[in-house]
Structure 1
Amino acid sequence: MERITNYQLFTMTFFYQLGTTIIFGFGAAAGRDAWIATMCSSFLGTVVVMMYIALMRMNPGLTLVEWFPAQLGRWIGIPISLLYPLLFLYDAGRIVGDLRDLVPTTLLANTPPLVFNGVFMLVITYALFLGIESLARMGETLFTLILVLFLIEVILLFGSKVIHLDYLLPILEEGWSPVWKVVYPNGITQTYGETIAFAMIWTQTKNPERIMKVTILSSLFSGIILSLSLILAITIFEEDLFKNSIYPLYSLLGIVNVGNFINNLSPFGVIYFTTTAFFKMYIKIFAAIKAIQQLLRLQDYRVLILPAVIIVLCIGMTVSKNISEHIFYLHKQILVPYIWVPLFLILPAILLLIAWIRQRLEKREKSST
């Protein structure tokens, strides 16, 4: 079995949780308080991740799709478990949809989206055949590079004298209501609830007892980086432009201008986005095919890679007609409240309660005998 180290798990979780969020204006509905909404989402989302890890500890050696049959029985547990790989494939398709909408409008205006996405999926396919250890080593290598690029970006933005910290004021002018509307359900489920996919990977870590500490640190760190990125966007664009921009974290890189010599850091945005999107899509697909392999009792998950990649590409190219339908309708009005909340919050919470009750009953039986 492939094994990954604690540091590799940290970097993979970090890239996964940033995902496509590093480009989109996360929490824009909260206006200048979006960074506060992001920090709140990070703290509460970390609690959700802790719930998943608690379930893992109550079901030692088992993956996500094995938890439900173990606690609820095969007749109830297996149908519920089947929902997760299907959701992971759909979510991976949505990342393809993100690329389909972003690339033509920002990077390659004359390149058909199918061409770019097709090449991207070929790379994903190759990486999936190499295995999860290869992705883990790649995360180890790229982590420092991404942090250095982020630091350079911050320094150059300050050097361009385009940052106005007074744009952050007044803080919480409209109270906590707009912030909490961002935090729940979207802020908690997006990124942090999605981390449930790692429950298909945690069994392959070298030190399972340290998963809790590593994942919590990674979740909080990704929240800090995202909050800092939003502060930069708000202090540069001001509230109104930030709220109305689809890609504010990408757009701010284009306004760097230090002495008319260093300008337009859009390539940095490309590196951020493609790196985090790659990690998130890979892990979604890997979790899906590993889950299907275990549910169908197949010998090797690699026979599922090509069908899964084709399905993801088809979903991504057909899931929505435009960016508005993709984000504001399918995501916020359907996916989050009716799919993510039940599968990421409600079902795991119920399963945790059942597992806890069963453990208590088993302890009482042992003590009585």
Structure 2
Amino acid sequence: MSKITVYQLFTITFIFQLGTTIIFGFGGHAGKDAWIGELISCFLGVFLILIYIALMRMNPGLTLVQWFPAQFGRWIGTPIAFLYPVLFIYIVGRVIADIRDMVSTTILFNTPLIIISGVFVFIIAYCVYGGLERVSRLGEVFLPIVLLMFCIEVILLLGSKVMHVHNLLPVLEYGWEPVLKTVYPSGITQSFGETIIFAMFWTETKEPNKVMKITILATLLSGIMVTLFDVMAISVFGDMFSGFLYPLYTLLSLISIGKFIENLQMFGVLYLLMTALLKCIVLMFAAVKGIQQLTNMKGYRVLVIPSCALSLILGMTMSKNIAEHIYRQHFEILVPYVWVPMYLVLPTILLIVTWLRQSMK
């Protein structure tokens, strides 16, 4: 596998953490205080990522799926490790469903859903088949585009005079409870807990000693960017912020300068397509590499097409509508019963076991 530079690691980590959050917004349940929830989640997310990095340093040269067999033994550790590639393939399916729903309801109204999803999956398979170097170069291409679009959006919103600071007030009108509910469990696990996936790539970085600094920097910057998105959306919509399914997409529809620069919702679609695409590519690459390492296969490419096909089937069949997809499956099932154990509980137990074993030695 080719080695990646620390800059490439930064780009894919930053864009991965933006993911679908950049268009769905963050912390709608907290209403006007969603931005506070994002800042707290980012702060706690840094500590969670430090746990992952500590595990990397305590298991030198090993990837995420190799930590568990190394510390728990083959019979216990291998089945646990297999859960991660399975989860990654499932999450790709969820993002495909996100793309399917948004693109079909915003720009391609009459296009068959299988065409939208199929093209997206084909691009994922092509990039994963190309290897880690192609994935990392994609991050280098996407990062300046995302940042440039963000700056243009901020300038145009300011020029449209639709943002009003008083919509952010009063701060903590309903106390800390709504904010803390957005922070845990979904705020910490989404984006920040998902960063555990990069434990599959940290061993392939040219300068492993800089992994912690680069990952923490990317985490802080992505957290700040999502916070700014929330602040902009809330300053425009106020209490209505929590009622929008795609608040950041809706926000772009309000840009109007001289009745000439208008209807820039395409920016929102481009945001989602770029960040979601890179996120899916990283997830799928980690999944097939994880399966390869656990089964001692010679190469991972033979797994790409079956894994992508499985994700496509999941994306087309896992939910009947957007409400079921997001509120029922994501918030009520996936986050508390899958993400919390796999992103918080298992790594913490693994850290304790690893520390105890090394202390005994």
Q: TM-score band (shorter)?
A: over 0.9
Which whole-Å CA distance do the structure 2 matches of 1:193 and 1:246 have between them? 23
User: After the TM superposition, which residues 1-369 of structure 1 pair with which residues of structure 2 at under 5 Å, given as runs?
Assistant: 1-239=1-239, 241-362=240-361
Which whole-Å CA distance do the structure 2 matches of 1:86 and 1:138 have between them? 24
Q: Which amino acid aligns with 1:24?
A: F
> How far apart are 1:130 and its partner, in Å?
1.1
Q: Which amino acid aligns with 1:10?
A: F
> How far apart are 1:132 and its partner, in Å?
1.3
Write the deviation string for residues 185-213 of structure 1: whole angstroms up to 9, x where unpaired.
00000111111111111111101111000
Which whole-Å CA distance do the structure 2 matches of 1:198 and 1:92 have between them? 15
> Unmatched 5+ residue regions in structure 1?
363-369
Aligned length: 361
Between stretches 135-144 and 316-325, larger displacement belongs to 135-144
Between stretches 136-145 and 151-160, larger displacement belongs to 136-145
Which whole-Å CA distance do the structure 2 matches of 1:149 and 1:15 have between them? 13
Which whole-Å CA distance do the structure 2 matches of 1:107 and 1:45 have between them? 34
Q: Which amino acid aligns with 1:123?
A: I
Q: Which amino acid aligns with 2:302?
A: V
- After the TM superposition, list the runs of 4 or more consecutive aligned residues in structure 1 that deviate by more than 3 angstroms: none
> How far apart are 1:334 and its partner, in Å?
0.6
Q: Is the 8 A contact 2:65 2:84 kept in 1?
A: yes
Which whole-Å CA distance do the structure 1 matches of 2:3 and 2:253 have between them? 40
Q: Is the 8 A contact 1:25 1:245 kept in 2?
A: no
Give the SS at the match of 2:19. Answer: helix
Q: Which amino acid aligns with 2:174?
A: E
Which whole-Å CA distance do the structure 1 matches of 2:113 and 2:54 have between them? 41
How many percent identity over aligned positions? 56
Give the SS at the match of 1:180. Answer: helix
Between stretches 42-51 and 217-226, larger displacement belongs to 42-51
Q: Is the 8 A contact 1:25 1:242 kept in 2?
A: no
Write the deviation string for residues 280-321 of structure 1: whole angstroms up to 9, x where unpaired.
101111111001001110001001000000000000001111
> How far apart are 1:343 and its partner, in Å?
0.6
Q: Which amino acid aligns with 1:281?
A: C
Q: Is the 8 A contact 2:16 2:278 kept in 1?
A: yes
Q: Is the 8 A contact 2:25 2:229 kept in 1?
A: no
Write the deviation string for residues 198-241 of structure 1: whole angstroms up to 9, x where unpaired.
111111110111100000000010000000001111111111x2
> How far apart are 1:25 and its partner, in Å?
2.6
Q: Is the 8 A contact 1:103 1:113 kept in 2?
A: no
> How far apart are 1:142 and its partner, in Å?
2.1
> How far apart are 1:342 and its partner, in Å?
0.5
Q: Is the 8 A contact 1:16 1:191 kept in 2?
A: yes
Q: Is the 8 A contact 1:39 1:224 kept in 2?
A: yes
Give the SS at the match of 2:2. Answer: coil
> Unmatched 5+ residue regions in structure 2?
none
Which whole-Å CA distance do the structure 2 matches of 1:263 and 1:164 have between them? 19
> How far apart are 1:109 and its partner, in Å?
0.8
Which whole-Å CA distance do the structure 1 matches of 2:176 and 2:29 have between them? 12
Q: Which amino acid aligns with 1:334?
A: I
Which whole-Å CA distance do the structure 2 matches of 1:137 and 1:94 have between them? 24
Which whole-Å CA distance do the structure 2 matches of 1:20 and 1:2 have between them? 28
Q: Is the 8 A contact 1:32 1:168 kept in 2?
A: yes
Write the deviation string for residues 51-70 of structure 1: whole angstroms up to 9, x where unpaired.
11110100000011110111
> How far apart are 1:264 and its partner, in Å?
1.4
Q: Which amino acid aligns with 1:154?
A: V
Q: Is the 8 A contact 2:138 2:278 kept in 1?
A: no
> How far apart are 1:152 and its partner, in Å?
0.7
Which whole-Å CA distance do the structure 1 matches of 2:103 and 2:141 have between them? 25
Q: Which amino acid aligns with 1:207?
A: E
Which whole-Å CA distance do the structure 1 matches of 2:341 and 2:27 have between them? 21
Which whole-Å CA distance do the structure 2 matches of 1:270 and 1:104 have between them? 11
Please give the TM-score of this superposition, normalised by the length of structure 2: 0.99
Give the SS at the match of 1:109. Answer: coil
Q: Is the 8 A contact 2:135 2:282 kept in 1?
A: no
Q: Which amino acid aligns with 2:253?
A: G
Please give the TM-score of this superposition, normalised by the length of structure 1: 0.97
Which whole-Å CA distance do the structure 2 matches of 1:277 and 1:40 have between them? 24
